[in-house]
Amino acid sequence: MKEGLQNQMKIWNRVFLMQPSRLGVASEALAAVHKEINSVSDYGYNLWETVIGTQGEFGVSALVSDIEAFTSGELMHDEFDGDKLGDLAGAVNECVDRRPEDSFWNVVHVLGDWTDTPAYVMNVVHETDMAQMQGTVGATVEFATYMHGVVEAPVIVCTSVFGTGPSVRMIWGYASLGDWEARTGRGMSDSGFQERLAAMSGPGVTLAAQSNVMRRLI
């Protein structure tokens, strides 16, 4: 995955929020449709479920080298069964609580081994004013670089403006939930964590942070 991140500099995300009473059905339906799409295309989707954060939230991600090919359907193989995919997508739609949200993220910094997609990720998203975007990116890269040295977890820094508003995001990778707990605890107890957090939210900086932890289903 690391080589792909170096050559494919965008990450596509789709976020689903499912009906609370249908989470089991929704998980199975999402897995079925994305396994089918992966088998008849070059999209290479990963499917994620939030385990710490908004319950009933699922995410789909993919690396994107050519945004035109990705959005046009060009990556689908000729032998795909449109009716089958339609039925599988319909099963997902029956469980959706609100319209899915799509976003594209530009990868600006990668640290650690992303050869394999991790079993768990922690997303930390900083929403900022456009005038503060450049400074926020620089501070986030510095923060991620320092913390990577402390916790030794792989991390990606990426940015998005259109659709999301000015946002800077860190994606941290972990082997398990226990791995996340141990590394995050070590990082938050490091004095440099507090120092850099203060620097990122200093005087005159408007910064709203959101975070979650997701496990990979596909």
47-86 per-position pLDDT tens digit: 999 999 999 999 999 999 999 999 999 999 999 999 999 9
Q: What is the pLDDT of residue 132?
A: 85
Q: What is the CATH number of domain 106-216?
A: 3.30.70.100
Question: Residue 202 — pLDDT band, cuts 50, 70, 90?
Answer: low
Q: What is the pLDDT of residue 130?
A: 87
pLDDT more than 70, % of the chain: 93
- Rounded to the nearest 5 percent, the helix, strand and coil shares of the chain are 40, 35, 25
What is the spatial distance between Cα 13 and Cα 15, in angstroms, rounded to a whole number? 7
What is the spatial distance between Cα 143 and Cα 201, in angstroms, rounded to a whole number? 12
What is the spatial distance between Cα 24 and Cα 27, in angstroms, rounded to a whole number? 5
From 27, 9, 7, select the one nearest 18 (Cα to Cα). 27
Higher pLDDT, 198 or 211: 211
pLDDT in tens, 13-28: 999 999 999 999 999 9
DSSP labels, 164-187: T-SEEEEEEEESSHHHHHHHHHHH
Are 127 and 165 a contacting pair, CB within 8 Å? yes
Handedness of CA 31, 33, 34, 36 (dihedral sign): positive
Residue 190, amino acid? D
Give the domain ranges of the chain: 2-101, 106-216
Residue 9 has pLDDT above 90, yes or no: no
pLDDT in tens, 123-167: 999 888 888 888 889 989 999 999 999 999 999 999 998 888 899
Reduced to 3 states, what is the DSSP secondary structure of residue 14?
strand
Query: In terms of CATH architecture, what is 2-101?
Result: 2-Layer Sandwich (3.30)
Residue 172 has pLDDT above 70, yes or no: yes
